[in-house]
Amino acid sequence: MTPDGTDEMAPDRPSAPERRPGADRPAGADRSAGALERHSTGQVSTKTSRDVDTAAEEEPARELDTAAAQEPPAKDEEQPGSARRRRPLRTSLIVLAATVVAAAVGIAATGTLGGDGTDSASAAPTGPPATAKVERTTLTDSETVDGNLGYGDAQTVQAPASSTGTGDSGQGGASGGDKGDGILTWLPEESKVIKRGDTAYRVDEQKVPLLYGSFPLYRTLKSGTEGADVKMLEKNLRALGHTGFTVDDTYDSATAEAVRDWQDDLNREETGEVRPGEALVAPEARRVANVTATPGAALNGNLFSWTGTERIVGVDLDVQFEDLVDKGTEATVRLPDDTTVKAKVTDIGTPSTSKGDDSGSGESDSGSGGSGGNEDPTLPVELTVKDQKGLGRYQAAAVEVTLKAETREDVLVVPVNALVARKGGGYAVEVVTADGTALRPVKPGMFADSRVEISGSGIKEGTVVGVPK
């Protein structure tokens, strides 16, 4: 052993030929976006039958606890340094096993590791085939998945239900009488944005405006009426510029006067009352997606469908990646022209299994996208894009979404293929010193972007380690 405590390589070993090209990339490594590909059990063998005995002399201060390496962790066990349930744990061990198999076979072939039961071997005259420096950086674990840009799921607008039984005289199909009473005289065009107070459609040339709220008008509102629907109406009247009343849940004479002013603006009969069907209600402004009815037809059935006004990104996420996302998780969206915009997860649905739908229903520009008959369970995820201008003119498009699962700042990293398996368990890196090379045990942390976080005695920023060519 050398004075600095490292294991000295035996000087009588033959020169090390170049390592096999296959050791450059660990089995199972994802070639895109720095993510590691997931494999099921049995895809990558962890048997190291050609490993040579690299057990070092007993040095408690430098020896790693190898129990975790010998026995795979439990499913929900966390890697050190992670503040959440580790998605990559099982995958990382599988990938790591493939890496160290390649490394061990290459080292055994070149004579870098001896078979005399120590961690030392002779320094090859030319050193490792290639080297890399230990870097201090920020490591981000991410996954790139397919997504769809659009306006989200469309909702259907139907003709109002009959308002008979309210004691009101008929005022056309939009305000009373049997369903279908009245003729559609105007409908909006596709892609039109309808805001509060705008006309959604016309029946017998009577305007039916949009109001903002969480539930539709379901009864006649008049003096003496009380309830949440009264307060909703009064909020809309105030937002449209009408005054002289108190916004509460009581419909009084002041409310009735404000309603008459509003009806005058709409060129409707000034009754001071609001009946079901005289206005549409939606949570916010809406964009017309598809018009199914035609002017001149009776007020009946489906009229049109609409969506939100801002483009969103929908992802049907494989459930094995569900721990990648939480509300607020940041993501990068790559558009077809290779430009990117930032996005944030705003809604996570319930896992479901799609077995295909041949009905042909649904909007083509839905943000969630279809799974094309995929029977694997998926998790619907919705992301919003604050910079709508950054999306350019795209209205609907296939995009790539890179989700950031975890970030580790100020850590030491090396290429994944710099790791070497130790016969007794654990891992090491081949450190290049002034006297040759020596294997130093390290503890791996997070894996990302073909790199791995490491820590161990004698490992610092700038340390030179051997890697396959």
- Identify which has the larger pLDDT, 395 or 352: 395
Per the CB < 8 A criterion, the answer to whether 427 and 120 are in contact is no
Q: At 140, is the secondary structure helix, strand, or coil?
A: strand
Mean pLDDT of 245-254: 97
Are the beta carbons of 26 and 416 closer than 8 angstroms? yes
pLDDT for the residue 134: 95
CB 303 within 8 A of CB 234: no
In contact, 416 and 99? CB cutoff 8 Å: yes
> Strand locations in 152-244, DSSP E?
155-158, 184-186, 193-194, 199-203, 206-212
Under the banding of pLDDT at 50, 70 and 90, the label for residue 126 is: low
Buried b / exposed e over 311-328, threshold 16 CB at 10 Å, is bbbbbbbbeebbebbeee
What mean pLDDT comes out for the span 336-341? Answer: 96
In the DSSP assignment, the letter for residue 390 is G
Model confidence pLDDT, tens digit, residues 142-161:
889 999 999 999 999 999 98
Predicted confidence (pLDDT) per residue in 379-427, tens digit: 999 999 999 999 999 999 999 999 877 788 999 999 999 999 998 899 9
Q: Which helix (H) or strand (E) holds 260?
A: helix 253-265
Render pLDDT for 429-459 as a digit per residue (tens, 0 to 9): 999 998 889 999 999 998 888 899 999 999 9
Residue whose C-alpha is closest to residue 293's, from 174, 186, 209 = 186
- Reported as a pLDDT band with limits 50, 70 and 90, residue 141 is confident
Position 225 scores a pLDDT of: 97
Q: In the prediction, which pLDDT does 133 show?
A: 95
In this structure, are residues 145 and 321 in contact, taking their beta carbons and an 8 Å threshold?
yes
Give the list of residues 6+ apart from residue 384 with CB closer than 8 angstroms, or none: 310, 312, 313, 343, 344, 346
Backbone dihedral angles phi then psi of residue 388, each to the nearest 5 degrees: -65, -30
| 65-106 confidence digits (pLDDT tens) | 433 334 444 444 444 444 444 444 444 444 444 444 444 434
- Phi-psi sector, 172: left (phi>0), alpha (psi -120 to 50), beta: left
Residues ≥6 apart with Cβ < 8 Å to 91: 28, 36, 37, 38, 39
Q: How far is CA 350 from CA 148, 382, 453, in A?
A: 18, 12, 34
Dump strand ranges (E) for 312-450: 312-318, 330-334, 340-348, 352-353, 377-384, 397-415, 419-421, 427-433, 436-448
- Residues whose CB falls within 8 Å of the CB of residue 11, separated by 6 or more in sequence, listed in order: 122, 123
- Is pLDDT of 286 > 60? yes
pLDDT at 120: 42
Q: What values do phi and psi take at 107, rounded to 5?
A: -65, -40
420/114 Cα distance (integer angstroms): 13
The model's confidence at residue 109, banded by pLDDT at 50, 70 and 90, is very low
Q: What is the pLDDT of residue 452?
A: 94
**Domains, the chain, ranges and CATH?**
21-142+409-467 (2.40.420.20), 145-152+310-405 (2.40.30.170), 155-307 (1.10.101.10)
Share of the chain above pLDDT 70, in %: 64
Segment holding 303, helix H or strand E: strand 302-307
